[in-house]
Amino acid sequence: MGTTDKPAECGCDGNAHPVPSPAAAALVRVLLIDDDEDDYFLTSDRLADVPGRPYRLEWTAKYDEGLEAICAGARDVYLLDYRLGERTGIDLLREAKARGCSGPVILLTGQGQSRTDLEALDAGADDYLEKSGLTAELLDRAIRYALAQHRAEAELEGKVAARTEELARANEALREADRRKDEFLATLAHELRNPLAPIRNSLEILSLAGDSPEAVRAQRERIERQVGHLQRLIEDLLDVSRITTGKMRLQPEPLVLCDVLDVALEASKPALERAGVAVEVRAPDAPVRLVGDRVRLAQVFTNLLVNAAKFTEAGGRVVVTASVAGGTVSVTVSVTGVGFAPELGPKLFDLFTQADRSLNRSQSGLGIGLALVRRLAEMHGGTASAASAGPGTGATFTVTVPTAEPRE
């Protein structure tokens, strides 16, 4: 074996010995964990003979410091002797593994100890070398292999972790969808039962009304209102089905925004009056021209206004504001009312989502109306959003769609 400079102090135990090199900063850092100084000199000589001298060797004779170095990831690769006093390199590997530590490790063994070598691989070593036949070429190849193997394992672990996280998110989304489905079915039963009860009562009253025209008229009107409510529920369900299956088709035509808003205000007027909510409309003086489906755009704004009636306290106010900018028109429905947690805003337009999930609210709805608003807005090339500062602070719902005028 050759000779080396006197060991320099640095690293694990004050006995770390670097192989001199003018490009030390770019070198692969190698830590030899071995209680035999002769092995250090042997390893140092072999690494010094590698063309380009690409390695910086450090040495510790202490088991505990070697273990801490591996767990700290303090070096690029570790050469580990099988014999470390009363303990072995395999003991060290197993202890590191138990602590969740790993690194590119090459075990240095004696003559042909195949059982030991297999134990080392099982304990976490990337490779093993017999010291008796150690050459610069073998050592260089083993180090490069260990580094490549460790990088590949790290990349694989990263991909597995990312995939696991992705699957966890997907599972959570499925659980959330399943929960919303259960809530929807319970709400649907509640919403269908509400109009059926007055219809049944009206039929009983009619059977007892005899020839009283006033009683017959009043109960007929009552039945018509409840049947209309049932019809709207069914139409909303059918619209959701048409959109999700891609069967809904728009019939675009030239429109004026105020005409569409007038239809929506008229359609939502009964709900707003029953709720005792005042409505104010603020729109540009000049006509705002659109190209869209008259019925579906009116449905968008009707749903927003009916939603406002449901969740605005009696005596509250709804302000409808239209503004044009950059080739789009934004219609904002601002309400005083219950409001919602800010983080719920993006979720309100998901199917079957409600700000108030309690079935005790007499007009909580199915969680379909806002979902239809967003999907119909998107079908017109627009967007829908909702914002609130929190419960009790009211809310703002905004639909933006392109105008017929070119963008400036």
| Residue 58, strand partner residues | 31
Q: How confident is the model at residue 359 (pLDDT cuts 50, 70, 90)?
A: very low
Distance of CA 290 to the CA centre of its chain: 36
Q: Is residue 294 predicted with pLDDT exceeding 90? A: yes
Give residue 265's Cα distance to chain centre.
38
Burial class of 219 by CB neighbour count within 10 A (0 to 12, 13 to 18, 19+): buried
pLDDT tens digits, residue range 368-405? Answer: 788 889 999 999 999 999 999 888 888 999 999 999 87
Beta bridge partners of 331: 322, 399
CATH 3.30.565.10 describes domain 252-402: yes
| SS3 call for 11 | coil
Q: Where on the phi/psi map is residue 390: left (φ > 0), alpha (ψ -120 to 50), or beta?
A: left
Residues of the chain within CATH 3.40.50.2300 domain(s) are 24-134
CATH 1.10.287.130 spans which residues of the chain?
Answer: 169-244
Q: Region 90-95: what's the mean pLDDT?
A: 92
* Half-sphere exposure for 207 (CA within 13 Å, toward CB): 6
Mean pLDDT, the chain, rounded, equals: 83
pLDDT at 113: 59
The H or E element containing residue 92 is helix 89-98
Q: What is the number of helices (H) and of strands (E) in the chain?
A: 9, 14
pLDDT exceeds cutoff 50 at 361: no
pLDDT above 90 covers what percent of the chain?
Answer: 42
Token reading at 361: 């609210």
**Statement: residue 364 has pLDDT above 70:** no
State pLDDT tens for residues 203-258: 888 888 777 888 888 888 888 888 877 887 788 778 877 877 888 889 999 999 99
Confidence class for position 105, pLDDT limits 50, 70, 90: very high
Contact 64, 75 (CB under 8 A): no
Domain 24-134 has CATH 3.40.50.2300: yes
**Residue 119 reports pLDDT greater than 60:** yes
Q: Identify the CA nearest to 361 among candidates 309, 308, 311, 304.
A: 311
Which positions ≥6 away from 25 have C-beta within 8 Å? none
Contact 242, 248 (CB under 8 A): yes
Q: Which residues of 220-237 are buried (b: 16+ CB within 10 A; e: fewer)?
A: eebbeebeebeeebeebe
CB atoms within 10 A of CB 325: 11
What mean pLDDT comes out for the span 106-131? Answer: 79
Q: Can you tell me the distance from the alpha carbon of 194 to that of 188, in angstroms, rounded to the nearest whole number? A: 10
Alpha helices in 99-135 (DSSP H): 114-123
Whether pLDDT at 3 is above 60: no
Residue 2: count of CB within 10 angstroms of its CB: 10
CATH of domain 169-244: 1.10.287.130
Tally Cβ neighbours within 10 Å of residue 289: 14
Give alpha helix (H) positions in 276-389.
294-310, 369-379
**CATH 3.30.565.10 domain locations along the chain:** 252-402
Q: How many CB atoms lie within 10 A of CB 110?
A: 12
**Has residue 22 got a pLDDT over 50?**
no
Please tell me the predicted confidence (pLDDT) of residue 126: 86
- Least confident span in 4-8, 53-57, 103-107, 348-352: 4-8
What is the DSSP annotation of 144-206?
HHHHHHHHHHHHHHHHHHHHHHHHHHHHHHHHHHHHHHHHHHHHHHHHHHHHHHHHHHHHHHH
Residue type, 186: A
Q: Which residue has the higher pLDDT, 179 or 275?
A: 275
What integer pLDDT is reported at residue 19 of this predicted model?
44
Average pLDDT (278-303) is 93
CA–CA separation, 400 vs 162, rounded Å? 36
Q: Taking the alpha carbons of 266, 270, 272, 277 in that order, is the dihedral positive or negative?
A: positive
pLDDT at 352: 62
pLDDT at 13 over 50: no
| pLDDT tier, 7 (very low <50, low <70, confident <90, very high otherwise) | very low
Query: H-helix or E-strand containing 271?
Result: helix 257-275
Q: Which range, of 133-142, 219-228, 351-360, 363-372, averages the lowest pLDDT?
A: 351-360
pLDDT digits (tens, 9 = 90+) for 157-182: 889 999 999 999 999 988 887 877 77
**Residues 15 and 6 sit within 8 Å (Cβ to Cβ):** no
Average pLDDT over residues 57-75: 92
Instruction: Give the confidence band of 264 by pLDDT, cuts at 50, 70, 90.
Output: very high
